[in-house]
């Protein structure tokens, strides 16, 4: 199977496993997602790496902004931000967060990247896709459009690792292994096939699932694992064995590794073939060796 076929297969497998239409899921989770962002550090960690690329005259394109984790801090620093967000539930939370922050330089295109990119005029200084490419089947077209539109494209994604507790919880209650979303081990070979040079940094971030009450913790995981009421008692004891009470909340606190993939359009336009060989040898740190070995 080619890297592209592997990516598409993984997207299809994950869609089948979700068992619900995407919008139904976001209707239920959009507000929670906003809180999830607040309990985790990935935005600060990634912003520290991308802010040096930005200035007051910068134009940014963001794929799948969600509730605005990156949109809000970026919009206050740049001239214009264009976002492509297909979920109505996410757009509603994003619009409310933008209004609260008093930001008016953000345009929201209510489409999927697969369609929304076609009508956009570049160039952008930066294109950002943070945890938003996992459900895109025609990833080759989207990546090529981003490289054509933006001087620098930054993709944040998982590396295919799953926490031990999450894997065990899933296996116990769903009686099967969870299929991780497409990850760096899928994306990097695909970029090589496309002749796109990219640098990769693998970074530790928090992965905290924090709730106000024990019942909220239970509701969220019941929904996530598609469990009915009669398994609630067993689920409660499994979750309480993992969770800690901190301050006013209760949560499962963990850390995980994510990949920051950076594509410099100039490097790709000027030296398509030779450039990739250099980029690959530069990027093949021991971290990446580990990551590409993951079969997850």
Please list every residue from 36 through 75 that binds ligand SAM, using CB under 6 A: 37, 63-66, 69-70
Contact pick of 40, 87, 97, 222 for ligand SAM (by CB under 6 A): 87
How far is residue 29's CA from residue 220's CA, in Å, rounded to a whole number? 9
**According to the binding rule CB under 6 A, does residue 106 interact with ligand SAM?**
no
How far is residue 19's CA from residue 25's CA, in Å, rounded to a whole number? 10
Part of the chain binding ligand SAM (CB under 6 A), chosen from 82-90, 101-109, 229-237, 279-287: 82-90
Cβ nearer to ligand SAM, comparing 115 with 215:
115
Part of the chain binding ligand SAM (CB under 6 A), chosen from 100-108, 130-138, 192-200, 261-269: 130-138
Cβ nearer to ligand SAM, comparing 136 with 276:
136
Part of the chain binding ligand SAM (CB under 6 A), chosen from 13-21, 125-133, 172-180, 237-245: 125-133
Part of the chain binding ligand SAM (CB under 6 A), chosen from 79-87, 185-193, 213-221, 275-283: 79-87
Cβ nearer to ligand SAM, comparing 179 with 240:
179
Please report, for residues 46, 73, 84, 97, the alpha-carbon distance to residue 81 in angstroms, rounded to integers and kept in the order given.
17, 11, 10, 15
- CB neighbour list of residue 239: distance below 8 Å, 6 or more residues apart: 169, 217, 218, 221, 252
How far is residue 173's CA from residue 292's CA, in Å, rounded to a whole number? 29
Q: What is the DSSP letter of 186?
A: H
Q: What is the DSSP letter of 79?
A: S
Q: Minimum distance between the CB of residue 253 and ligand SAM, rounded to whole angstroms?
A: 19
Torsions phi, psi for 128 (to 5 deg): -120, 130
**According to the binding rule CB under 6 A, does residue 114 interact with ligand SAM?**
yes
Cβ nearer to ligand SAM, comparing 135 with 208:
135
Beta bridge partners of 256: 205
Contact pick of 82, 90, 265, 276 for ligand SAM (by CB under 6 A): 90
Q: Minimum distance between the CB of residue 59 and ligand SAM, rounded to whole angstroms?
A: 18
Cβ nearer to ligand SAM, comparing 68 with 275:
68
For the chain, give the longest Cα–Cα distance.
61
Cβ nearer to ligand SAM, comparing 209 with 279:
209
**According to the binding rule CB under 6 A, does residue 112 interact with ligand SAM?**
yes
Token pair, residue 194, equals: 């496309």
Q: Is 275 helix (H, G, I), strand (E, B) or coil?
A: helix
Beta bridge partners of 107: 82
Cβ nearer to ligand SAM, comparing 15 with 236:
15
Question: What is the separation, in whole angstroms, between the first and last Cα of the chain?
Answer: 16
Please report, for residues 9, 59, 77, 80, 154, the alpha-carbon distance to residue 56 in angstroms, rounded to integers and kept in the order given.
41, 9, 6, 9, 19
**According to the binding rule CB under 6 A, does residue 268 interact with ligand SAM?**
no
Contact pick of 29, 60, 72, 113 for ligand SAM (by CB under 6 A): 113
Q: Answer positive or negative: Cα dihedral of 276, 58, 121, 188.
A: positive
Token pair, residue 187, equals: 């994306």
Looking at the chain, how many residues does it have? 296
**According to the binding rule CB under 6 A, does residue 78 interact with ligand SAM?**
no
Contacts with ligand SAM by CB under 6 A: the residue count is 21
Please list every residue from 131 through 190 that binds ligand SAM, using CB under 6 A: 131-132, 135-136
Name which of 151, 183, 141, 165 is nearest 290 in CA terms.
183
Residues near ligand SAM (CB under 6 A) are 26, 37, 63-66, 69-70, 84-87, 90, 112-114, 130-132, 135-136
């Amino acid at each position: 199977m080619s890297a592209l076929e592997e990516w598409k297969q993984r997207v299809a497998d994950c869609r089948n496993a979700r068992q619900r239409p995407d919008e139904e899921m976001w209707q239920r989770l959009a507000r929670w997602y906003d809180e999830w962002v607040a309990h985790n550090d990935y935005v600060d960690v990634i912003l520290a790496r991308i802010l040096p690329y930005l200035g007051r005259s910068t134009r940014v394109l963001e794929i799948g902004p969600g509730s605005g984790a990156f949109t809000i801090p970026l919009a206050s620093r740049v001239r214009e931000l264009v976002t492509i967000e297909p979920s109505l539930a996410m757009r509603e939370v994003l619009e409310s967060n933008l209004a609260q922050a008093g930001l008016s330089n953000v345009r929201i295109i209510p489409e999927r990247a697969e369609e929304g990119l076609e009508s956009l005029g570049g160039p952008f200084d930066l294109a950002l896709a943070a945890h938003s490419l996992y459900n895109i089947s025609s990833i080759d077209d989207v990546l090529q459009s981003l490289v054509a539109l933006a001087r620098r494209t930054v993709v944040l994604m998982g590396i295919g690792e799953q926490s031990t507790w999450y894997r065990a919880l899933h296996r116990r209650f769903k009686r099967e292994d969870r299929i991780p979303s497409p990850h760096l081990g899928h994306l990097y070979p695909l970029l090589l096939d496309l002749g796109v040079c990219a640098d990769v940094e693998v970074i530790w971030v928090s992965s905290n699932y924090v709730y106000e009450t024990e019942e909220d913790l239970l509701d969220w995981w019941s929904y996530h694992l598609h469990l009915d009421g009669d398994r609630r008692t067993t689920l409660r004891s499994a979750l309480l064995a993992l969770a800690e009470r901190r301050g006013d909340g209760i949560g499962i606190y963990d850390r995980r590794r994510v990949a920051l993939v950076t594509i410099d359009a100039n490097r790709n336009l000027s030296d398509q073939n030779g450039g990739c060989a250099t980029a690959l040898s530069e990027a093949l740190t021991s971290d990446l060796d580990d990551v590409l070995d993951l079969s997850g």
